[in-house]
Amino acid sequence: MANRISSYFADSHWIFQEYSNATRFMDFGVLATFAVGLALSFGLLYYLASSSSKPAMSKEEWRPFKLIEKMPVSKTTAMYTYPQGNVSRAVNQLKIGDSIEMKGPRGTFEYERNASDVVGLLAGGTGLTPCLQVLEHALRDDLDKTRFAMIYANTEHSEILLKDRLDALAKQHPDRFRVHYFLMDAPDDWQGGKGYVTQDAIDQHLCKSSDRNRLLMCGPPPMINAMKGHLEKLEFPSARTVSQARDPVYVF
C-alpha cells in the first residue's frame, strides 16, 4: 500500500526549465520528515495532486508520474509535466510556498547488480525517466559490471530529453553503456535511426534473448504494444499485462 506524503517546496528548491512545447523539467525539495523510504526506491510510480488553493484541484484527482532521479532524503529530484494535462497545468501554476501532495512509490520493480550481462532499455518520450533512473543507479556502482544498451525514440529532435546527459554517460562508460536515438521526423543531417523502431533495430542495437539478459521498456502505449510484438518475434519472453519485480521483459 502506498503511503501518502506531503511535501513543501522551499524557495531554494524550485527550478523550472522548458525542454519543449510539451515538457517541463522541475527540481523540487521534499521534507526529510516525509521522505523516509523514498531514498531506496527507483523506477517506480508516484502519484501527484495539489493540496493548495492555488491552483484549485480536487484531492481525488491524482495523476501518476515517474521521477527522473532516485529520490534522496531532503534533497532535490525531478519530474516532467505535460501542460495540456489537467494536473500538469495545475502544477505548472504553483507559486513558491504552495504545497502539493504526493503518494508512492507504487510498483514491484527490482534491480540487482550483476544479475544480467546486458540490460536493454527501450524508451519513448518521457518514458526515458525510469530507464534513466535504473541506468544511473547501476553506472554509479563500481561493483556492478552490467552493460546497458538503449534505444530512445521521439517524434522530433527538440523532444529528445536529457540528450547531453545520456551522451555524457555513454562517453564516461564506453564499455558499459551505448545509446541509439530514433526520430520520426528526422532532419536531413540526422545520423540516428529514422521512423519507427523496428525489429531489426532492436536486434542490432539492444541485446539478444538470453537467461542472462533483461529488457526494460517505458513509453506511449502504441509504441509499447509494437515493441512487445517485435520482442516476441526475437524470442524474448512475453511481457505480462502487469510486470512483476524481476521479469526478464519489464514494462514500467
- Helix, strand, coil % (nearest 5) of the chain? 25, 30, 45
Cell of 105: 512509490
CB 142, CB 173: distance < 8 Å = no
Cell of 170: 555513454
Residue 88 marked ligand-binding: yes
Residue 81 marked ligand-binding: no
Residue 243 marked ligand-binding: no
CB atoms within 10 A of CB 168: 11
Give Cβ neighbours of residue 241 (< 8 Å, ≥ 6 apart).
none
Cα(130)–Cα(135) distance, rounded to whole angstroms? 9
Binding residues: 87-88, 129
Binding residues for FAD: 87-88, 129
